Every structure is written in C-alpha cells, then in structure tokens.
Amino acid sequence: MDIFCIQGPVRLSGQVTVNGAKNATLPIMAATLLAEGVSQIRHAPDLADVSLFCKLLRELGCKVERPRKGLLVIDATKIDRPFGDYEIVRRMRASICILGPLLARCRHAEVSMPGGCAIGDRPVDIHLCGLQALGAKIELKGGYIIADAPNGLTGTEVFLGGPFGSTVLGTANVMMAATLAKGRTVIESAACEPEIADLARCLRKMGARISGIGSPRLVIDGVKQLRPFKHTVIPDRIEAGTFMIASAITGGHVTVKNCRLEHLMAVVEKLRATGAIVEPDGDGCTVSMEGPIRPTDITTLPYPGFPTDLQAQFMALLALAKGNSVVVEKVFPDRFMHVAELNRMAANLRKEGPAVLVTGVKELIAAPVMASDLRASAALVLAGLAAKGVTTVNRVYHIDRGYERIEQRLNALGAKIFRENPDAKTEPPQTERD
Ligand code: EPU
C-alpha cells in the first residue's frame, strides 16, 4: 500500500494545470448508457474511480477504450444485463448513477445499494423516490435495488430536496431517467452543482430537451430516443481549489490554470478572508499568501455555497491561522475524519456536533497520519507541506481516486513528496469509498 513521505515546510511556486472534473466525468460516463452507439468524453481524468467506472460499463456489455490520455470512447450499442454488481458499487458510490439510465433504456435495472462510507451514511432514498415518482416500481432485495418500468417512465413533478439540501447524484439519476420518459418532468430542488449542469449540457447534445440548466428547477421534455455524443468535461473545481489552498497554506505563489473561478466564488471569498491574494489570470488564477493567515468561519452548503469537498483542505489552512475559526459542515455532518489526524500534527481542533472549533497554532509538526477518504487525505497532504519535518500519509490510494499524480504535480511546484511502498505485497483493502 503506497504511502507519501512529505518533507516540510515548503513554499510552493509555479504553475499547475487542472484536469477534467471527476464528478462530472462519472455521471457523464453513465449517460452513455442512454443511447446506442459510440460516445466520446474528452478531458476525462486518469483516476482510479474512472478506471473502476470503465470496468462497471464493460460488465454491463459496453466496449470502453482509452486510446489516448484524457479520451474515453464508450460504445453502448449493446447492454447485456442491466446489473450493477455489489463488488463495484460498494467501492464507488458514483456507480449508483447507472440506475436512472439503465431503467430508462432497458426498463429494468438491478443495482446494488451502495451503503455508507467514511464521510457518513449516504442514503439513496431521494434517488429512489424520484424514480418512483416517474412510475418505476422499486423493490429492495438482498442488498440490491430492483427497479422496473415495463411500460416506460412517465414525466411528472419531482421534489429532490432532503435534510441536507438537494442531492447531486440523485439529480443526475432522475434527470437522466426523465430524458426518455413520456411527457414533461419538472425537478424542483435540483442540485445546481456545475457538474450537474455539465451533465445536462451533455444530455442536450444527445438530443434531450432540458431547460433550467444550473438552476434548482429543471424542466425535461422526454424524447423517444437519444444519440451518442462528444463532450469535453469541465475543469475540476475541487482539484483547482485544493491547489489554491496549497498555495495559501505554504505562503506560496501558484498559478492554477484551466480553472473556472466562477465555479469557486465561495472559496475565493474565503481565501481572501484569510489574507490570500487571488487574482484572475488568463484561464485560471494566481493565488499568493504573504502575511500571516487570518482566521475565518466557513459553512459548507450545496452549490454555490462553500463546497463540502474542500472543507477538510480549508480546515488545514485555518489550523495555521492567527486566531480562532469555526467550520460548520451542512452537507455531510459527520465528515470530520481528518480532525483527529490533523490534531496528531499539533493542530488544535475541537469537534462539537457538525462543527469544528479551530484554534490556530503557530506551526504544524510532522507525524504519521492515516488517510480516511479522498478529501481528508488531500487535507493531510496540504498539512504535510506546511508542517515541520517528515509527515507520512498512509493509505494514499484514497487520494489517487480523485487527484491525478498529485505528488508529481505538487513536486513540480517545489514540494518534496515521495511515494513509497513499504509493503509491495499488500493490496489496498476493497472498502466502501466516496
Ligand atoms: N442524501 C440523502 N438521501 C439521498 C441522497 C443524499 O439524505 O438519497 C443526503 C446525503 O447523505 C448528504 C446530502 O444529502 O447529507 C448530499 O448528498 P449528495 O447526494 O448530494 O451527495 P452525492 O451525490 O452522493 C456528490 C459527490 C461528492 C460530494 C457531494 C456533495 C460525486 C461522485 N460525488 O455525492 O463528492 O461531496 O456530491 O457535493 O459527484 C468527493 O468527490 O470527494 C465526493 C464525496
């Protein structure tokens, strides 16, 4: 199992280019299932999760090729069996978004229930209610969701709000299913995340009739058939935000290219509140931090609020602020596995329910730490860049799921991160993942 040894502290400087968004690529891969023929996805990141989704599509009967970096060619002419196996779904929650497309195209789907993971319970009840509203009959049997719509789905009004706001993948599922339903579907309280808007734009290229893209009210007029597509995925705002915070936490000066600042407004505002200078720069921005880090409070919210996927990384930054901050998590109230690990590095963090009180410390001190999930591991890497000494981050397979070669890209900015494999024979455990 690979580990990172991070020699700190360092000051990052230089230029880094952001890849295509993981969380846009995965549902767009699922969208290929809606049409017979060969679709092309460009700027797909080379990540463990994308490879696993390729495997899932192949098991359904699709032909999947990656002829060159960033390009995915998916032939969904034939679906042998609309079945999402537990062995894959439990390892990657995004697999659940094959349910809507399979149901719409094959009128029957069996997909494993994903189960919980390190960041919380993560139920799929809203996905299922949405599909039921479209007329699907849904049963749970042996850990599988068995969905049937023998006469096809029918458009209706669907409300997708839940206790923590809308649902991102739930919106993807219901929107994809509705594209082939009879009549009009109105989704209220739809997720507005840029990845959902990107999926909707891709569905439009397939011939879907969708309006309200990017808003909480999507109107979808079902069509009889969709066609394959060619689509370039948007840049990964979470990867971009991670590099921006990396610059700030190291007192650095980093230009982040291929980054859409309009997708990161809440993060830019909070970075500026900490004293970072964020300047738009061509197709991205430059982030620098000269003085001491100032404290600030953050509350994660659905888009356009502060993203939960950057909460852990921002907490690492606030841990070094001159003063106290409060971090409130309103999307996944249990997403705090990084707190104890950052405290191992001499941070002063106290969890109180869905909030963490951050008392800024003068310095972080290197320690062996354990990555628990994708974004928590990114936070530990950022902390390691700023900490004095050699931090070892265990279980970095978590980070490989969402960041392509992160150590090489940070090293190109001046980091000193070494990937090591102390026990080449041990395979990463096949546990439930984000
Ligand atoms: N929820 C329900 N019922 C549902 C669905 C969700 O109660 O049926 C709750 C969740 O438990 C959570 C909240 O609603 O409290 C929001 O969950 P959501 O469904 O929006 O999350 P998701 O679609 O499963 C995606 C991203 C996550 C990201 C969240 C929130 C992908 C593949 N995953 O998950 O990304 O944190 O939206 O923005 O798009 C990551 O990349 O590290 C990651 C975890």
The pLDDT tens digits for 208-233 are: 999 999 999 999 999 999 999 999 99
The arrangement of strands across the sheet holding 72-75 comes to 63-65, 72-75, 38-42, 230-232
Tokens 């058939």 — which residue?
A: 225
Looking at residue 42, its amino acid is R
Pocket lining for ligand 1, CB < 6 angstroms:
23, 26, 93-94, 120-127, 162-164, 167-170, 308-309, 331-332, 374-375, 402, 434
**What is the rounded average pLDDT of the residues 285-304?**
97
Q: How far is the CA of 357 from the centre of ligand 1 (A)?
A: 24
What are the catalytic residues?
117
Q: At residue 168, does pLDDT exceed 50?
A: yes
For residue 74, the model assigns a pLDDT of 98
Average pLDDT for residues 281-290, to the nearest whole number? 95
Over range 4-32, report the average pLDDT. Answer: 98
- CA nearest neighbour of 388 among 345, 358, 342, 348: 345
- Tell me how far the alpha carbon of residue 169 lies from the centroid of ligand 1, in angstroms: 7
Confidence category of residue 122, pLDDT binned at 50, 70, 90: confident
Residue listed under structure tokens 């009889």: 224
Q: Residue 166 in contact with residue 201, Cβ under 8 Å?
A: no
- Supply the pLDDT for residue 400: 92
pTM, 2 dp: 0.96
Mean of pLDDT over the chain: 96
Taking 60 as the threshold, does the pLDDT of residue 412 lie above it?
yes
The residue whose CA has the least distance to atom 35 of ligand 1 is 309
Contact 367, 344 (CB under 8 A): yes
pLDDT at 284 over 70: yes
| Residues 365 and 346 sit within 8 Å (Cβ to Cβ) | yes
Strands 108-112 and 417-420: unpaired
Phi, psi of 246 (to 5 degrees): -60, -40
The domains of the chain, with CATH numbers, are 3-18+235-424 (3.65.10.10), 22-232 (3.65.10.10)
pLDDT digits (tens, 9 = 90+) for 181-198: 999 999 999 999 999 999
Provide the pLDDT for residue 201: 98
**How buried is residue 142: exposed, middle or buried, by Cβ count under 10 Å (0-12/13-18/19+)?**
exposed
Q: What is the band of 422 on the pLDDT scale with cuts at 50, 70, 90?
A: confident
